[in-house]
Homo-oligomer: A and B are copies of this chain.
Amino acid sequence: MKRIESDSNPSVKQWKKLLTRKEREKTGTFIIEGPHLVEEALSYNADIKHLIVEENFPLPESWDTGRIPVWQVTEKIIKTLSETEKPQGVVAVCGMTDSENLDLSSKSKLVLIDGVQDPGNLGTIIRTADSAGVDAVILGEGTVDVYNGKVMRSAQGSVFHIPVVKMNLKEAVESCKKSGITVYATSLKDSSDMRDIQPAEGFALLVGNEGSGVQEAWLKEADEKLIIPIFGKAESLNVAVATGILLYELQRTRK
């Protein structure tokens, strides 16, 4: 284990830059923090480039760090690399997965995201999609960066369980149609009550921006528009909650 004591160390300075989207995209790497996320990354063979631990952090014996470089650093350095109020002593630098190679035609349950802006919402959608057994999550243009720290923390490791990839939604919808997957979009207008349809075995659920919903351009392409009935006085549901309700409704007979 190598040791770094100065927060002006060039590696530390470089890692810190990964808290910006620009640097993440330039380098193809991102930061995760906290023992739970690091453990998920290790368990699911994520591409961990560096493991950075505070001097007092007890490295669990069950962690197989193999050939990953492990750096012991000061509490101050961990704080520099953390975005949370109470850093938990461990941070990792990971490489992004190559999303170019995702073959959508091999997937039968998808979530497509059109412009979700809040990192907590995106992370929660990814966690929910994973729970509901979805095969991949597609991020359309205008969606918040999945490698944002808040997204990572809300997703609680689900980004390491299923592919989460950026893709043009037009292409994604066309690909679904080619493979015979039904595209359902959430919409408050001209839509069917989710409980009244007979869900398709293979489906893509398209959800949209917190304020404006799914864009008209994609709504037009959907096979069916769905609405969750509102029994009370709220105008709508949070997008992550709506995604959860719909994913379970669409799989109401899944065993």
Give the B-binding residues of A (Cβ under 8 A): 120, 124, 127-134, 154, 156-158, 161-162, 195, 228-238, 240-245, 248-249, 251-252, 254
Contact = CB atoms under 8 A, between A and B. Distances in A.
B130 A232 contact: yes
A36 to B, nearest CB: 9
A127 B158 CA distance: 25
Contact of A131 (B128, B157, B231, B243): B231
Contact of A240 (B130, B131, B235, B240): B240
Contacts of A161: 232-234
A231 B242 CA distance: 18
Given A120-B120, A244-B242, A249-B248, A254 B231 contact: yes
B120 A241 contact: no
Nearest to A254: B231
Most chain-B Cβ atoms within 10 A of its Cβ — which of A127, A230, A232?
Answer: A232
Contacts of A245: 244-245, 248
A237 B133 contact: no
A235 B129 CA distance: 12
